[in-house]
Amino acid sequence: MRSSPTAPWGLKVAAWGAIAFLHIPLALIILYAFSAEDKSYVFPPPALTTQWFGVAWQREDVWAAIRLSFEVAAWSTAIAVVLGALAAAALARASFFGRDAISLLLILPIALPGVVTGIALRSAYGTLEIPFSFWTIVIGHATFCVVVVFNNAVARLRRLNPNLIEASMDLGADGFQTVRHIILPQLGSALLAGALLAFALSFDEVIVTTFTAGQQTTLPIWMLQELIRPRQRPVTNVVAVVIIALTFIPILAAYWLTRADEPVHR
Amino acid sequence: MNPSLALPAPRGGALRRLSDLLYARRSLLLLALLAPPLLWFGVIYLGSLFALLANAFFGLDDFTGQVVREFTLKNFVELGSPANRDVVIRSVTMAVAVTLACTVIAFPLAYYMARHATGALKALLYIAVMLPLWSSYLVRLYAWKLLLAREGAISWLAKELHLVWLLEAVLSLPSIGGPSLSFSAIGTFVVFVYMWLPFMILPIQAAIERIPGSFLEASSDLGAGPVLTFRRVVLPLALPGVAAGSIFTFSLTLGDYIIPQVIGDSTRYIGQVVYMQQGVAGNVPFAAAFSLVPIVVIGVYLYLAKRMGAFDAL
């Protein structure tokens, strides 16, 4: 495809306007973390201070929420990587009856509204009388994280030269050796990228979690409580910045790891 | 022979035989690969959806508040009540409006990314769209609470630009206005558009990227101006991308209960009713029945989108 270097100015304005629309709110969050005002959301902040970072650091409830979210995200990611990689290996090149149905099934948990997945799990737990626990959260998160790993792995597997696998087998390696020495080294960074995104997705998820968490407070649930009933605005401002920083790292890393992969086309 | 180039020695034993068996019988390999994900999704996910469906036909004992596992259509009768019908209509209207607004805002950026940006600029724009998509939903919502608050940045900007009268006029609009932006349907709408915009930009960009440049040249060689080329060539070919993006904007709007709870007047949307029925009211059966509404709406929408070729652009 050829691209013309000069864009009409109207197009440029509209495009950069959309970018500004996407990013100004994020910039504002960073500004507010330093606001000296602690009773309202007044703009512009009357003065700037760094004292709230120290205050937030002391908060045991924030730390507990961060820990819980980390553990949930770690377990969900681990499960999602295994299931997503297996499904990708099966579906990347094969064509068989029911293939499309299976990929639809994998996408369904994020294609259907979060409340549907949430209330579905909630009714299943209720019907089977499973009490809410750490694992009821993990099961929900793992289910919608699979598709992220799957998408990344499929994109990479389709790019993988099938001759390499043939060559490996011709040279006497068995299937497991081929997987270990040929496929995994090439798939590794795509799986890592998928894992990072799945981690970010789980770390941030709130809608399904509110249906499956019972009384437990993950970081997003802590944040949600503050959104509905603001009690400590300065601490919330700081936590918001920390969350942005924590999620930007895996997202950028995932982008860097898969930047050569084509986006998934069927 | 250089030892570092030596191949791993062929192994013998059970592992090798298993490997050979899986190689010879591809369907067996496929089954071994698919079994864990299929079990997980079949049992947990489909099982849960089935439990949801079953619960929709259960009732609630008025006296004890316990779920009664007997077949009843009471929940569906209740769905037809005027109050609930209003909730559904409001939610679907919002979803349609959000989808249209996202398309209009996303299109120029997607076009610019696909046809004009190259190299580092293109990568930068891509990251600029992807970061908000993946970064925290709640933090971005919180940002809008700061922006839209009465004492917040938008009111300040209106004052600086002497446009307070405009803000007041917008807020005094019947049914979509409110005491401040963060307590109005306009606020809810803006935040929805903001949240799902990246989901619209990326598929449109992918669709435009796939239009061969020669098509556009052919169009202009045949005498079409930019407007006509856009209308007759670019737009029809980008439509699958729009449809793909709209699946996200539509479905996410229909299912969200947090945005209208944090930013908005106190009118309710489908997600909020589902959440409150299962939580405060403890009426899981009615919540289950209500959550079938977005499934049906989205099912119809997906069917229409598929006919427009949306899935080829995902």
Would an 8 Å CB–CB cutoff place B48 in contact with chain A? yes
| Inter-chain residue contact A176 with B198, CB threshold 8 Å | no
Contact B151 A42 (CB under 8 A): yes
Dump pLDDT digits (tens) for B80-91.
Answer: 888 889 999 999
Say yes or no for a CB contact (<8 Å) between A26 and B140.
yes
Residue B238: inside a domain: yes
| Each residue's pLDDT tens digit, B254-267 | 888 899 988 888 78
CB pairs under 8 A between A and B: 297
pLDDT of B164 > 90? The answer is no
DSSP-derived secondary structure for chain B: --GGGPPPPPP-HHHHHHHHHHHH-HHHHHHHHHHHHHHIIIIIIIHHHHHHHHHHT-EE-TTT-PEE-S---HHHHHHTSHHHHHHHHHHHHHHHHHHHHHHHHHHHHHHHHHHT--HHHHHHHHHHHHHHHHS-HHHHHHHHHHHHSTTSHHHHHHHHTT-HHHHHHHHTSTTT--SSGGGSHHHHHHHHHHHHHHHHHHHHHHHHHTS-HHHHHHHHHTT--HHHHIIIIIHHHHHHHHHHHHHHHHHHHHH--SHHHHSS-S---HHHHHHHHHTTS--HHHHHHHHHHHHHHHHHHHHHHHHTTGGGG-
Q: Which of A133-137, B1-5, B306-310 has the highest mean pLDDT?
A: A133-137
Q: How far apart are CA B176 and CA B171, in angstroms?
A: 8
Q: What is the pLDDT of residue A1?
A: 43
Which amino acid type is present at position A203? F
Residue B4, pLDDT score: 53
Domain that holds residue B138: 90-313
Q: Predicted confidence band at B9 (pLDDT cuts at 50, 70, 90)?
A: low
Q: How far is B175 from chain A (nearest CA, A)?
A: 23
Check pLDDT > 80 for residue B14: no
What is the ipTM metric for this complex? 0.82
Residue B42 has pLDDT above 90, yes or no: no
- Residue B159 falls within a domain, yes or no? yes
Q: What is the pLDDT of residues B230-255, one digit of tens each?
A: 888 888 888 888 888 888 898 889 88
DSSP state, residue A266? -
Beta-carbon separation of A123 and B55 below 8 A:
yes
Return the higher-pLDDT residue of B225 and A195.
Answer: A195
List chain B residues with CB under 8 Å of A263. Answer: 206
Closest Cα in chain A, distance from residue B182 (Å):
12
pLDDT given for residue B5 in this prediction:
56
Q: What is the pLDDT along chain A (266 residues), one digit of tens a residue?
A: 444 557 788 899 999 999 999 999 988 888 888 887 777 777 777 777 877 888 778 888 888 899 999 999 999 999 999 999 999 888 877 777 777 788 888 888 887 888 888 888 888 888 888 888 889 999 999 998 999 899 888 888 888 888 888 888 788 777 778 878 888 888 888 899 889 889 988 988 888 898 888 888 898 999 888 888 888 888 888 888 888 888 888 888 888 888 777 543 33
Q: How far apart (Å, rounded) are the C-alpha atoms in residues A52 and B121?
A: 36
**B113 touching A (Cβ < 8 Å):** yes
CATH 1.10.940.10 fits A59-258, yes or no: no
Q: Does A106 contact B156 at a Cβ distance shorter than 8 Å? A: no
Residue B13 lies in a domain: no
* B200 within some domain: yes
Which CATH number goes with the domain that contains B157? 1.10.3720.10
Is B257 in Cβ contact with A207 (below 8 Å)? yes
Q: Is B233 on the interface with A (CB under 8 A)?
A: no
pTM beyond cutoff 0.95: no
Comparing CB atoms, the residue among A84, A175, A266 nearest residue B19 is A175
**Residue B43 CB coordination number (10 Å):** 11
B104 touches chain A (CB under 8 A): no
Domain ranges of chain A: 9-49, 59-258
Q: Which residues of B190-210 are buried (b: 16+ CB within 10 A; e: fewer)?
A: bbbbbbbbbbbbbbbbbbbbb
Q: Do A1 and B251 touch (CB under 8 A)?
A: no
Using CB atoms, which residue from A32, A112, A228 is nearest to B298? A112
Average pLDDT estimate for B3-25: 67
Asked, for residue B178, whether it belongs to a domain, the answer is yes
Taking CB atoms and an 8 Å limit, are A255 and B130 in contact across chains? yes
Task: Tell me, yes or no, whether B72 lies in a domain.
Answer: no
A75-88: buried (b, 16+ CB within 10 Å) or exposed (e) per residue? bbbbbbbbbbbbbb
The pLDDT of residue B2 is: 53
Contact B52 A123 (CB under 8 A): yes
Nearest residue to A253 (alpha-carbon basis) of A179, A200, A196, A169: A196
Contact A120 B15 (CB under 8 A): no
CA-based nearest distance B235→chain A, Å: 15
Classify residue B75: in a domain, yes or no. no
B286 part of contact set with chain A, CB < 8 Å: no
Q: Is B7 in contact with A171 (Cβ distance < 8 A)?
A: yes
Q: Which of A22, A41, A109 sits opposite B152 (nearest CB)?
A: A41
DSSP state of A172: T
Contact A21 B275 (CB under 8 A): no
Indicate if the pLDDT at residue B226 is higher than 50. yes
B-chain CB neighbours of A1 within 8 Å are 115, 209, 211-213
Closest Cα in chain B to A209 = B275
CA distance B273 to chain A (A): 10
Per-residue pLDDT for B201 more than 50? yes
Contact A227 B201 (CB under 8 A): no
B5, B23, B40: best mutation site toward chain A, by most A Cβ within 10 Å? B40
Confidence tier at B198 by pLDDT (50, 70, 90): very high
CA–CA distance, B74 with B58 (Å, rounded to integer)? 8
Percent of chain B topping pLDDT 70: 94
Tokens of B222: 């045949």
pLDDT of residue B310: 60
- Residue B16 domain-assigned (yes or no): no
B54, B134, B258 ranked by CB distance to A207: nearest: B258
Nearest by CB to residue A248, choosing from B26, B112, B131, is: B131
B3 confidence band (pLDDT: 50, 70, 90): low
Name the residue facing A248 among B30, B135, B155 (closest C-beta).
Answer: B135
